[in-house]
Homo-oligomer: A and B are copies of this chain.
């Protein structure tokens, strides 16, 4: 297997993985493509490498910038914009965690807080509802705390902790 083939395989699989995490295929593939590239790339280069349209490339590149995973760069004497990915994987993980926290944890916790105010009667159903939602909130709040800690910690804190834990 040569580099081109290896790159192709990895990019494809990164796209598949992205899809099962609610990130669209093109976005994940652009991310993989930039991650693997030693230099920053233009929209045209990405379009060419992934065989996608300009609109698609532009849209998802901007989503990646929005997620804090990709940055723009301007080269002197060049009119085109260049893009490069955050390479430190600890930082990448932190960014993704932060972003998902905002999109997923905050909304569900809001709903949990809202329904905890509900005026439930003392039926079996009411009790079960209270118990289950309380349990869920307790777990989610732990993850939330973990993400907050991770966001603030500067080193590879979480990864180092994981290493120790897993041995």
Chain A residues within 8 Å of B, Cβ to Cβ: 1-3, 5-7, 9-10, 13-14, 16-17, 19-22, 35-39, 87, 89, 93, 100, 103-104, 107-108, 111-112, 114-115, 117-121, 123-129, 132-133, 135-136, 139, 142-143, 145-146, 149, 159, 161-163, 165-167
Contacts and interface: CB of A to CB of B under 8 A. Distances in A.
Contacts of A163: 142
Nearest to A103: B20
Contacts of A115: 1, 6, 9-10
Give this chain's copy count: 2
Contact of A9 (B9, B111, B119, B149): B111
Nearest to A127: B38
B139 A165 contact: no
